[in-house]
Amino acid sequence: MKTILLIEDNADNAKIAMRALKPHGYRLLHATDGESGLTMAMEEKPDLILLDLGLPDLEGQTLAALIRGSPEIGRVPLVAVTAWPPDTAAQMAKAYGCDGYISKPISPRQFPFQIAAYWKERTDDTGE
């Protein structure tokens, strides 16, 4: 069972994401700010981190850099979840060291498929 850590401060956005993913068999973790998200990531070593770029305590760029700089979790796939327009989101995600992005508002119907497609891409790239 794959573990997904969602770092999202907006309760409604988190609830929608968690409800959309729960039926698909993922182990879901949720942190409401960057500090607790970083701690949870270090302790739990998730298979994927979904990162809201607009957190109240740490900028998305800072948190992404801290994750990428960690020997324990630096290679965990990191996907930005952002309300920025797609072109801007793609540029920001790449600049921040993320492996991709998903635009907000997320679609509860499409979100699980976006995650599944991401897993498929990772499997195709790594042969795992």
Q: Residue 116's pLDDT band (boundaries 50, 70, 90)?
A: confident
Residue range 65-93: mean pLDDT, rounded: 94
How confident is the model at residue 123, as a pLDDT?
53
Structure tokens at 100: 């991709």
Domain range annotation of the chain: 3-126
For 119, half-sphere exposure in the C-beta direction (CA atoms, 13 angstrom radius) is 13
**What pLDDT shows up at residue 59?**
85
Contacts for 57 with CB less than 8 Å, ≥ 6 apart:
33, 34, 35
Ramachandran angles phi, psi of 98, nearest 5° = -80, 155
Ranges of beta strands (E only) in the chain are 3-7, 27-31, 48-52, 78-82, 100-103
Instruction: Verify cis geometry, omega within 30 degrees of 0, for the bond prior to 56.
Output: no
CATH number of 3-126: 3.40.50.2300
State the Cα–Cα distance between residues 36 and 103, nearest whole angstrom: 23
pLDDT higher than 80, residue 120: no
Q: Which amino acid is at 67?
A: I
